[in-house]
Structure formats: structure tokens, C-alpha cells
Structure 1
Amino acid sequence: MNQRFCAVESRAIDDPLVGSGAHLERNLLLSWPRPKWQRNLRQASDMPEALLAALHALPDEGRRVNLIHRREQPERHHRVFLMPERQAFDVPREALVDFIAALRRGDDLTAWRPEPVDRSLVLCCTHGKKDKCCAKFGFATYKAMAEAVRHHDLPFDVWESTHLGGCRLAASALVLPQLRKYGRIGDDDILPLLESEARGRPYLPCYRGDSRLTPRRQCAQVAALEWLSAQGLEADIEVDDAEETDAPHHEVAVKWQAAHRQGWLTVTCHALELLRYDTCSDLADGPSPSRVWRAVEVRESTPTPA
């Protein structure tokens, strides 16, 4: 019997990338050897109980935890990143509980010798214990991205990561602290994606949306960027934060600015229900309904007076 993958099923039904970019802005990334990762995104098989408890408490306080891995990182000397603070620490394993306790108390972390993080981080989900798509597609993407960064001297640090959300969209990546998520990254996307990010711009063919926006506003954001790109414009945009409702039809205002030009767009987004597999573990039970957004029209407009 041929093996099935949720990422292949997702692509086959045209499950949209856009609108799937949700991610907390405050993050703690902890290096830990990938062979020890468990199914939970912040748990490893050889973690002391006190450390597990400390890590599990952080999301309730508004900080997401992911484990990360690079082969050259020492096994018992851990690299810790705080985002969006852009700080990095080297912490021995026996001191991790004390470090996290100090972080949770809001202590001054100067004694832990923080280093500024000058290069953006690219996290590639390779969490095979969570979903087999992340192992099959994610690890190859990680290796190719790391090689592209080395070969072209690009300003990134690339790490393997535990679950980033959207297993069905593998290969997936997240750029921090910019909070831009990507999915279905193919071989031909890797260098253009990194070069676009090096210019401070999202790479639209694989872009899932700004993690700070709701799915509907991500839909409008990406549609506006694609429309502007088709006009030969590379613009900064601002998506209106009008009140969210359950209505299936929305018109979203987007303001754009490019060099000495600016304007407004109205993006019409429709919600629809899609039957899909969110992870490979769902394949045996059948697909489930999920709400997704699609942009159906982008038009130039003028702002509504306040």
C-alpha cells in the first residue's frame, strides 16, 4: 500500500497557505538534541521534571516554547533565544531551571551574559515525532536552507525546530523576529525566499501571512501584496483592523506605501468550509471541516472618512 501524507492531500485539494500564519510574538527557543524530542513541541525524553514544569508554564504566561537543533551545538550546553528581544544565552543544562525562573520573575538577565542577535533566525520544522510530513519534507528543506545561507553568505541562522503549526503545509519555516511563516517550500523556492527575506520582504509564493494578523486579515494582506507585485510595486502595507465578525464575506481596507507613491486597496475575502486532514494522524479517521479564507477581488479605492 502506498504511504499517504497529509501535505500531499492538502495540496491536492488546494488547501490555501494564506491565513495559516498564527504564532505568538513572544518566543523562547531552546537547543536540544533532536533524537531526544518527544511528540510535545517543548518536551525531550531526557529533560529533568523541574525543567519540564518550567517550560510548560511559559505558554500560560504568553511565551511560546520550541526546541531547536543544530548538529554542532553541544549536547549539554544549550543555546537559548528570546524573541522579540533578540537576545541569546549559552546556559549549561544544570542552570536552565534557574534561568527560566529568573525570566519568569522578570529579573534583569544581565548576569546570564545575553548576546545580541543580529541575524534573523530561520526555523525549519523537522518534528517527525509530531508528524511524518515534517520529517519527510522538512529535514531536506532545512539542509538546503542551511547550505544556501553558507554558500551565498546570507544574514540568517538556520535551525531545525519542533512543531510550528500547519503540518499539512510541510515543508514549513518561520522567520524570527519578523514573524513570517512559510509553507510548501520546494527546492526552487529556497534561495528566492532567503533573498527576499534578506531584503526585508516576504516571499509571496510560499507566504502564509503575518503571524500578528487574524486569518481574514492575512488573506487580505497577501492578496494586496500580490496585486501590488503584479503592478511592479514593492510596498509596505497596513491592513485595517476592523472588528472581526462571523460573516462569510468581508471587505478589508489596505493602505500601501511604495517610495513616493501610496494608495488604498479594498480586498474582498470569502470564508468557506474545506474538508481536510490537518495532520497525518487524521488520515485513518477521515477529513474534518475547517474554515479557510480566499481573496476573490482586489480593487483600488479611497479611504473612508473617519
Structure 2
Amino acid sequence: MTRQRFCTVESLEVGDPLPGTGAHPQCNLLISWPRKTWSRSLRIANDMEPALVDRIETLVAGGRRVNLIHRRDWPQDRHRLYLFPENLWLDVDREALPALLDALVNRQSLTRWSPASLTGSLILCCTHGKKDKCCAKFGYRTYQALARESHKQQSQFDVWESSHLGGCRLAASVIVFPALRKYGRISEQDVAPLIAHEAAGRPYLACYRGYGRLTPAQQCVEIAVLEWLEKQGISAELQIDDAVAQQDGAVVVPVSWYSGEGATGYLDARCETREISRVDTCADLDEGPSVSECWFVSRLIPR
């Protein structure tokens, strides 16, 4: 009998790293839409009217990422929208969506739809099985665990299923808004500490892919420095500067850290690349792996 293969399993087996894979646009629109009608596209459902599709594609062309989200208890013809970095949410009936998206395209006021400021946070877990089977196999059970644990901890997180978040091979894949922190390979054992860390405003390093606005090298540095500080019992905020290219192809990233107790410190992180042979999605399994370049931190140098 042929063993069923999953890109997530093969990614883990070849040592494909999580750090440096957390890139995500800052400008986002999330639209609740019944998952049963999702297509392979992260933003278009099979039952969307052409006029609505056109408006979504216009928003994307203007620089806003659009994802579909789903929750089983949400009405099918009533849509929850979230806007980032505006940190707004609003609920509209389906017939109002085209006009609302027109207002977004034209940068007009949304006052007529009564937007509200987001006071808590969102956790999105990719369950987009039509995009990649790993997101169905690993994503859905993680979503369920996140929803249960969020309720148990009485946290301020709204937990939703999501369409494709990037990095199917890293399922279960999660992003936290508005913090814009990405996670991967989340097991059920990781769920409780992840929510507890995020509730405290800190990344859960065991599954952390990086802060979405940093470059891959900077994300690797962010995680390496936070791990270094954690071993010393220090909780700190980081200031990560631009990478400085070195003659041998490496980069050096200057980092400053500031703890709540007033302590400060400065580091230089040397980053290098290595090649890894991997498949990016389950669709690539038949073709086999290709070579990709990954960043890693080779040295932390205190100043």
C-alpha cells in the first residue's frame, strides 16, 4: 500500500526551519464567507457575484491583501469584515458588500456602515483544504483546539478559520492580528501556551515564524535574540535595525533590547544563508523537492 504523503511531514523531516517565514502584508481585509463555497483562491469563493469579485481584485491590485474567514456559528448571508492596519470591524448584509468595497477602493468614509474599533485580537488558523490537504488535516483540529482554549482562558481573542496564509508546508499555520505574528507547526500541546503568551503580548517562541513586517533575516534575528534573552530570564522589547551586508555574503543586523525593569542591551547578529531541498506544497510532491535558500543566525555578538 502506498503511504500517503504530506508536505508538512516532509518539510519537518528535512529540517525546514520556521524562523524567517513570517512575512505578511500590513494592509489586510478579512471577509467572513462560508467555507463550503471557498475555491482554491485565498480571496474568492465559488458563489461570489462577478461584480464583487471585480471589487476584491481591485483592492488587491491597490495593495490590500484579502482573506476569507469562517466560523460555523456565523450567519451565511451576514458578513464580518476586519480592516488592518485600521483596526476596524463591521458587519454587513451581502447586498451591502459591493458598495462598501467601492468605498474602500475610493478611500471614502465607511461611517454609514458603523465601523467599530477592534479592542481585542484575532487568531486566524488556516483550514484551506482546497488549497492544500495539509491545511485541512492539520489546520482544522488546531483551529478547534484554539477556539476551545480561548474560551477556557476567557481570553480577548476572536478565533476564526482562514483561507491560505502562506507556508502550507508549515501547517498548522496561524497569524495573530493586529500583532501580525505568524506561527507554524502548531500541535494541540502548543495551543494553551501560545494563547497565554499572546495574551501577555509576547510571541510563543516554540512555533514562532516571525513578525510579518520584518525581512526573513530580521525575523531569524528576532527569534534568536528573544531565545537568548529568555535563557537569561529577561523579557524585553526589541529594536531591530536594517541589515548591513558583509563582503562574504552574510549580513549583520544590529539589535537593541529594553526590559521592563529598565535594563538595556545591544547586540550584533550575524546571519548567513544555507540551501535546503524541500517541497513547498502538497501539489509539488510528485515533482519532488526544489532547492530554497534559508537564513539563519550564526552568531550573536553583545556590544
Secondary structure of 2:138's aligned partner: helix
Secondary structure of 1:67's aligned partner: strand
Aligned partner of 2:289 in structure 1 is: 287
Q: Measure how far apart 1:243 and its partner are.
A: 5.2
2:268 to 245, 263, 266: 266
Aligned partner of 2:232 in structure 1 is: 231
Aligned partner of 1:304 in structure 2 is: none
Q: Measure how far apart 1:155 and its partner are.
A: 1.1
Q: Measure how far apart 1:77 and its partner are.
A: 0.9
Of stretches 28-37 and 269-278 in structure 1, the one that deviates more from structure 2 is 269-278
Structure 1 residues 146, 245: closer, same or farther in 2, change over 3 A? farther
Secondary structure of 1:41's aligned partner: coil
1:159-180 Cα offsets, whole Å, 9 max, x none, are 0000000000000100001100
Of stretches 289-298 and 225-234 in structure 1, the one that deviates more from structure 2 is 289-298
Q: Measure how far apart 1:89 and its partner are.
A: 1.0
Q: Measure how far apart 1:290 and its partner are.
A: 0.9
2: CA distance between counterparts of 1:61 and 1:288? 32
- Opposite residue 142 of structure 1, the aligned amino acid is Y
Conserved in 1, the CA contact under 8 Å of 2:142 and 2:186? yes
Structure 1 residues 244, 87: closer, same or farther in 2, change over 3 A? farther
Q: 1:201-280 residue pairs with structure 2 within 5 A?
A: 201-242=202-243, 248-258=249-259, 259-280=261-282
Aligned partner of 2:81 in structure 1 is: 80
Structure 1: 5+ residue stretches without partners? 302-306
Aligned partner of 1:200 in structure 2 is: 201
1:137-166 Cα offsets, whole Å, 9 max, x none, are 000000000000111101100000000000
Aligned partner of 1:298 in structure 2 is: 300
1: CA distance between counterparts of 2:170 and 2:243? 28
1:176-233 Cα offsets, whole Å, 9 max, x none, are 0110000010111101001000010011011101110110111111111110111110
Structure 1 residues 244, 57: closer, same or farther in 2, change over 3 A? farther
- Opposite residue 265 of structure 1, the aligned amino acid is L
1: CA distance between counterparts of 2:248 and 2:79? 47
Q: Measure how far apart 1:119 and its partner are.
A: 1.2
2: CA distance between counterparts of 1:39 and 1:283? 18
Secondary structure of 2:264's aligned partner: strand
Secondary structure of 2:44's aligned partner: coil
Structure 1 residues 247, 218: closer, same or farther in 2, change over 3 A? farther
Q: Measure how far apart 1:132 and its partner are.
A: 0.4
Structure 1 residues 226, 256: closer, same or farther in 2, change over 3 A? same
1: CA distance between counterparts of 2:65 and 2:231? 36
Conserved in 2, the CA contact under 8 Å of 1:270 and 1:295? yes
Q: 1:1-306 residue pairs with structure 2 within 5 A?
A: 1-242=2-243, 248-258=249-259, 259-301=261-303
2: CA distance between counterparts of 1:252 and 1:242? 4
2: CA distance between counterparts of 1:227 and 1:120? 27
Secondary structure of 1:58's aligned partner: helix
1:35-91 Cα offsets, whole Å, 9 max, x none, are 100001001110000111111121221110000000111101111110121111111
- Opposite residue 260 of structure 1, the aligned amino acid is G
Q: Indicate the percent of aligned positions where both proteins have the same amino acid.
A: 51
Q: Measure how far apart 1:241 and its partner are.
A: 1.2
Conserved in 2, the CA contact under 8 Å of 1:154 and 1:198? yes
Secondary structure of 1:192's aligned partner: helix
Conserved in 1, the CA contact under 8 Å of 2:218 and 2:243? no
2: CA distance between counterparts of 1:59 and 1:177? 19
Q: Measure how far apart 1:109 and its partner are.
A: 0.8
Of stretches 24-33 and 113-122 in structure 1, the one that deviates more from structure 2 is 113-122
2: CA distance between counterparts of 1:162 and 1:18? 22
The count of corresponding residues between Structure 1 and Structure 2 is 301
Structure 1 residues 246, 90: closer, same or farther in 2, change over 3 A? farther
Conserved in 1, the CA contact under 8 Å of 2:245 and 2:251? no
- Opposite residue 295 of structure 2, the aligned amino acid is W
- Opposite residue 111 of structure 2, the aligned amino acid is T
Secondary structure of 1:298's aligned partner: strand
- Opposite residue 59 of structure 2, the aligned amino acid is L
2: CA distance between counterparts of 1:2 and 1:289? 24
TM-score, scaled to structure 2: 0.97
Of stretches 132-141 and 104-113 in structure 1, the one that deviates more from structure 2 is 104-113
Structure 2: 5+ residue stretches without partners? none
TM-score, scaled to structure 1: 0.96
